[in-house]
């Protein structure tokens, strides 16, 4: 897995633009992908989002011996994807090109699906009637299900009936016959326009049928509908509440049949109890089991960086829970939901109730100078990335 990630980092730096015309025209190796064994379920490596790879022979004793075997050039310079690896194939989204299946040994292309030009997530997988299905999201184009063997599109879904400007940033998760899809909103950026009536959308989590793409349930992070709260320039209405987007992939608790995910700040006032929070939902009904909020009154949007009129007043610190929570098991069998916040705080929650078990700060905690993004758990430890905003140098807190 380490070798694979190294390869794709190098491929991204090459920035080679691929010219494609059709699936069949660009495929340069004929063998269909083998899909009996995958090295991860999606973004979290496992459904608990522990991001710890056990299926590897690479360790501290031989990692220094890794050498470049082949490289693949992405179609743009800023890939936002995470590859899915099977026993002989690497599946990955390539912006401006599509989704590609590459032979693990040679790097040759098994198939290309050109219909997804804005792939922006990890690739999850499931099985329908004996057929392996790949699921991923385009940042604006929606959720796609592909046949892993051929690359054919099986279905596409846009979740825009409640949110007219959805952004698919967090990776989907597949469990049993459902696809769980996190939703954020482009209003975070649209707020920069002073003539835009900010803001009306809510983050959400949706469950789709794996076979058909039909919606099983849809849960807004903000139960209240937005209302007019003010006006500027005499004719531009201001709205709220809004925001509480879900930027991260959900984490699965199969034993309790729950999904855990983090939310971001509100985009406008009034603020809600579901922003900067971890939320637990029932996977079968979408009903809320519990909500634990870490920071109250956090309202912020991109207008604030430019002194824009749509910036909420008072302005919050913008300290989302940006990465998936981790479901970890301790030596004594106790389970905890671990969440990192952009403030540099790490929280441990009771998975049954959401009650805070402990909390520690590993960043400096000033107004947005440090971020706690991502993390992985193993051997009684949690590792969290810490990024000082002044230098953007990465550190690891344990």
Give the Cα separation of 293 and 389 in Å (integer).
Answer: 24
For residue 329, what are the β-bridge partners? 335
In this prediction, residue 29 carries a pLDDT of 81
- In SS3 terms, the chain reads as CHHHHHHHHHHHHHCCCCCCCCHHHHCCCCCCCCCCCECCCCCCCCCCCCCCCCCCCCCCCCHHHCCCCCCCCCCCCCCCCECEEECCEEEEEECCCEEEEEECCCCCEEEEECCCCCECCECEEEEECCEEEEEEEECCCEEEEEECCCCCEEEEECCCCCCCCEECCCCCEEECCEEEEEEEECHHHHCCCCCCCCCCCECEEEEEECCCCCEEEEEECCCCCCEEEEEECCCEEEEECEECCCCCCCEEECCCCEEEEECCCEEECCCCCCCCEEEEEECCCCCEEEEEECCCCCECCHHHHHCCCCCCCCCCCCCCCCCCCEEEECCCCCEEEEEECCCCEEEEECCCCCCEEEEEECCCCCCCCCCEEEEEEECCEEEEEECCCCCCCCEEEC
CA angle 219, 159, 275 (to 5 degrees): 40
Q: Which domains does the chain have, with CATH numbers?
A: 1-158 (2.40.128.630)
From the list 209, 14, 36, 247, the residue with the least C-alpha distance to 121 is: 247
In this prediction, residue 370 carries a pLDDT of 54
Give the Cα separation of 360 and 339 in Å (integer).
Answer: 11
In this prediction, residue 331 carries a pLDDT of 86
In this prediction, residue 171 carries a pLDDT of 96
From the list 137, 129, 130, the residue with the least C-alpha distance to 155 is: 137
In this prediction, residue 321 carries a pLDDT of 93
Kindly give the confidence (pLDDT) of every residue in the chain, 398 residues in length, as a single tens digit, with 9 standing for 90 and above: 333 333 333 333 333 323 333 343 355 687 889 999 999 999 999 999 988 888 888 989 999 999 999 999 998 888 888 999 999 999 999 988 999 999 999 999 999 999 999 999 999 999 999 999 999 999 999 999 999 999 999 999 999 999 999 999 999 999 999 999 999 999 999 999 999 999 999 999 999 999 999 999 999 999 999 999 999 999 999 999 999 999 999 999 999 999 999 999 999 999 999 999 999 999 999 999 999 999 999 999 999 988 999 999 999 999 999 899 999 998 889 999 999 998 888 999 999 999 999 999 886 655 554 555 677 776 677 777 666 655 545 555 55
In this prediction, residue 372 carries a pLDDT of 59
In this prediction, residue 335 carries a pLDDT of 95
Assess contact for 160 and 111: CB atoms under 8 A: no
pTM value is 0.89
**What are the CA-CA distances from residue 146 to residues 57, 90, 240 (Å)?**
30, 14, 38
In this prediction, residue 67 carries a pLDDT of 94
For residue 146, what are the β-bridge partners? 134, 153
In this prediction, residue 79 carries a pLDDT of 84
In this prediction, residue 397 carries a pLDDT of 52
């Amino acid at each position: 897995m380490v070798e694979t990630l190294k390869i794709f980092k190098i491929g991204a730096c090459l920035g080679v633009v691929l010219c494609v015309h059709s699936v069949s025209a660009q495929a340069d190796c004929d063998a269909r992908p083998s899909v009996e064994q995958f090295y991860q379920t999606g973004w979290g490596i496992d459904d608990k989002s522990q991001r710890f790879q056990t299926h590897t022979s690479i360790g501290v004793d031989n990692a220094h011996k890794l050498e470049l075997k082949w490289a693949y050039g992405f179609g743009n310079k800023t890939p936002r994807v995470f590859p899915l690896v099977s026993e002989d194939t690497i599946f990955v989204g390539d912006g401006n090109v599509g989704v590609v299946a590459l032979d693990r040994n040679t790097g040759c292309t098994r198939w290309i699906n050109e219909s997804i030009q804005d792939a922006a997530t990890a690739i999850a997988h499931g099985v329908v009637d004996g057929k392996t299905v790949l699921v991923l999201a385009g940042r604006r184009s929606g959720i796609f299900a592909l046949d892993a063997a051929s690359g054919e599109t099986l279905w596409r879904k846009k979740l825009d009936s409640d949110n007219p400007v959805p952004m698919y940033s967090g990776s989907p998760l597949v469990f049993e016959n459902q696809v769980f899809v996190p939703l954020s909103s482009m209003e975070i950026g649209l707020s920069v326009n002073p003539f835009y009536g900010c803001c009306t959308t809510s983050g959400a989590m949706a469950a789709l049928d794996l076979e058909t793409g039909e919606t099983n349930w849809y849960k807004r992070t903000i139960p209240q509908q937005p209302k007019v709260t003010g006006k500027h320039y005499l004719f531009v209405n201001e709205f709220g509440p809004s925001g509480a987007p879900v930027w991260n992939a959900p984490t699965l608790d199969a034993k309790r049949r729950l999904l855990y995910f983090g939310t971001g700040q509100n985009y406008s006032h009034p603020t809600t109890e579901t922003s900067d929070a971890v939320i637990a939902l029932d996977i079968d009904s979408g009903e809320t089991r519990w909500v634990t909020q870490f920071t109250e009154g956090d309202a912020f949007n991109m207008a604030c960086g430019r002194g824009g009129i749509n910036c909420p007043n008072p302005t919050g610190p913008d300290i989302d829970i940006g990465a998936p929570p981790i479901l970890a098991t301790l030596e004594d069998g106790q389970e905890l939901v671990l969440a990192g916040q952009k403030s540099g705080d790490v929280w441990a929650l009771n998975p049954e109730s959401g009650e805070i078990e402990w909390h520690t700060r590993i960043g400096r905690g000033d107004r947005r100078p440090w971020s706690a993004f991502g993390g992985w758990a193993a051997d009684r430890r949690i590792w969290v990335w810490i990024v000082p905003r002044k230098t953007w140098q990465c550190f690891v807190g344990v």
